[in-house]
Structures are given as C-alpha cells and as structure tokens.
C-alpha cells in the first residue's frame, strides 16, 4: 500500500529524513516511535504532502503510484489521512459542516455527486456514537475552544467519516486521559479492516496497549534504526532510547 524507499527530505537546506525505508501492507498496523526531534512528525507531513518539506531523493509510492508531486488534497482523495498532533481552529465552521465539505470535495474529485443528506446524517450519527461524541459537539466551531482531548477525538471522528485506506495518527495519544485514550483506540480498532492500514506515531508505548501494532519502528536522527514487533515497544518503554543509541555505536 505504502512504499517508501531511501527517502531523504527536509526544509530548505536542512535534511531531516536521511534515508527512510518503510513498507505498509493492507491490514497492517505500524508504530513509529522515537525521541523528540527524530523526524517522526516530519515523516507524517512528508507522506501527507506538506509543502514546506522538500523531497531530496527516494521513492514515495501509494498503491503503486508515485505521490511525491501530488498536492495534499490529491493524496487525501486517494485515501491518505493524517490525524494532526495540533489540529487547526476554524471559527464559524461547524464540525458537521467541515466534515460534509471534506467528504463532498473528495467525492467531487472522484467525479461523484454529493453524498445525499440523509445518508450523511446517518453516517455522522453512527460514527459519533462509535466515538462517544455528543451531538452538541458536532455543531461547535471546528476545534475552537476544544480541549486537547476533544481535538484528538474530533480528528478520529474525521478519520471515521472519511474512511481512508491509510491513516497516520500523529501523537494522537498526547493530551488524552486514559478514558479518552480507550475510546479513541477502540474507535480506531473498529475502523480497522484487512483492506486498510494504520501508522501510529507516538512517544509512548501507552497507546500501543490499545492499538496493537504488527510492527514497531524506531526513528532516530532521520533514519529507522531498529524494527521489531510489539515487544520492542515494551522494551523501549522500560529502557528508554539510550540503549539503542549505544547499540548503534
């Protein structure tokens, strides 16, 4: 599904990603862990197509197609989704209206008609229930005055509504208390199928107790320095990152 090979990317002259290799297949859950400043969020942004990052060299393919030159919205139309660490506030535009716009813009790009209102409402209700989201919440302005937890839950609500093929969750656990974390993780698990995939980016192992990864990768200094299964995450939690650094030396 996602094929990344020897990917180097950065901002202006500064190289942040220094040769990433990553393959994600349908049905898989990958976790990317690493200390602060290792390039985790950059990797998420580069996959999603943030303009300020430049790909210096390497391959970035999604479903067999080179997506490195596509605009973020074109990548979204193909089924990529990034859950933001810091979602942006959009005053005056309700959660519902925003989600409707996002869905219909994607449909438009695919040459489809707008989703019928009845179907849309039904879907909104279903996904809001899944994530235990109050109906009143949906009529509030997008992210405006939301708590950290509400913002993250709203991100996952959008994920549920847009049903992407590949979802990248960037630090979705930060700002969540344990109850909210369980709800969010439960939502993600229910949305998982053999046809879609998830990349979980996180500092801590905590989220991985609930969204169990098939693979765990450690990102350090812009490179994936170690890969393993879920046991690796536990080891990192117990021992920190220093032992990997030592191992590398």
Partner 1 sequence: MSLKDKLVSSYIAFEDHLEDDSPIHDLRNDAIKVFEEKGFPSKKEEAWKYTSLNALLKNDYSVFPSNKSSLELKDVRKYFLHEIDTYKLVFVDGVYNSFLSETTHDSLDVCLLSSALNKTKYKAVIDAYFNKTAVKESLTSLNTAFAKEGAYIHIPKNKEVEKPIEIINFSTGSEAAVLLQPRNLVVVGENAHVQIIERHQSLNGNQVLTNSVTEIFAEKRAYVDFYKIQNDAHTASLIDSTYVSQEQESHCRVHTFSFGGKLTRNNLNFYQKGERCDSTLNGITIIEGKQHVDHNTLVHHIAPNCESHQDYKGIFDENATGVFNGKVYVEKDAQKLDAFQQNNNILVSDKASINSKPQLEIFADDVRCSHGCTIGQLDEDAMFYLQSRGIGKKEARALLMYAFANNVLEGVKIPELKARINKLIANKIGVSLGFAL
Least Å distance, CB 109 to partner 1, is: 7
Least Å distance, CB 72 to partner 1, is: 4
If one asks whether residue 120 binds partner 1 (CB under 8 A), the answer comes out as: no
Contacts with partner 1 in 21-80 (CB under 8 A)? 45, 48-52, 71-73, 75-77, 80
Strand runs labelled E in the chain:
2-11, 14-24, 29-33, 53-62, 65-66, 80-83, 90-94, 141-142, 166-170, 197-202, 215-220, 223-228
From candidates 10, 62, 98, 185, binder to partner 1 by CB under 8 A:
98
Residue 111 and residue 7: Cα distance in Å, rounded?
32
Least Å distance, CB 107 to partner 1, is: 9
* CB-CB contact of 29 with 197 (8 Å): yes
From candidates 101, 139, 189, 229, binder to partner 1 by CB under 8 A:
101
Contacts with partner 1 in 176-235 (CB under 8 A)? none
Output the CA–CA distances (angstroms, integers) from residue 236 to 38, 63, 203, 245, in the order listed.
15, 31, 10, 12
If one asks whether residue 148 binds partner 1 (CB under 8 A), the answer comes out as: no
Q: How many CB atoms lie within 10 A of CB 13?
A: 6
If the CB atoms of residues 8 and 50 are measured against partner 1, the closer one turns out to be 50
Give the pairing of strands 197-202 and 166-170: parallel
Name the site residues for partner 1 (rule: CB under 8 A). Answer: 45, 48-52, 71-73, 75-77, 80-82, 84, 86-93, 97-98, 100-106, 109, 114, 158, 162
């Amino acid at each position: 599904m996602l094929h990344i090979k020897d990917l180097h990317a950065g901002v202006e002259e500064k190289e942040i990603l220094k040769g990433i290799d990553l393959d994600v297949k349908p049905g898989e859950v990958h976790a990317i862990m690493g200390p602060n400043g290792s390039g985790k969020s950059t990797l998420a942004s580069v996959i999603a197509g943030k303009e300020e990052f430049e790909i210096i060299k390497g391959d970035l393919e999604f479903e067999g197609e080179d997506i490195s030159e596509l605009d973020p919205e074109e990548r979204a139309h193909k089924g990529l989704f990034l859950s933001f660490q810091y979602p942006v506030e959009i005053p005056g535009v309700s959660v519902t209206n925003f989600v409707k716009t996002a869905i219909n813009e994607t449909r438009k790009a695919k040459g489809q008609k707008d989703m019928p209102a009845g179907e849309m409402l039904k879907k909104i209700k279903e996904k809001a229930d899944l994530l235990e989201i109050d109906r009143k919440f949906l009529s509030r302005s997008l992210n405006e005055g939301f708590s950290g937890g509400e913002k993250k839950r709203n991100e996952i609500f959008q994920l549920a509504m847009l049903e992407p093929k590949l979802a990248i969750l960037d630090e979705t656990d930060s700002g969540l208390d344990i109850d909210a974390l369980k709800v969010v993780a439960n939502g993600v698990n229910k949305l998982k199928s053999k046809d879609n995939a998830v990349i979980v980016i996180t500092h801590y192992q905590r989220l991985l107790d609930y969204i169990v990864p098939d693979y765990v990768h450690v990102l350090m200094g812009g490179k994936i320095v170690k890969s393993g299964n879920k046991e690796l995450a536990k080891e990192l939690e117990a021992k920190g990152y220093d032992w990997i650094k030592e191992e590398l030396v």
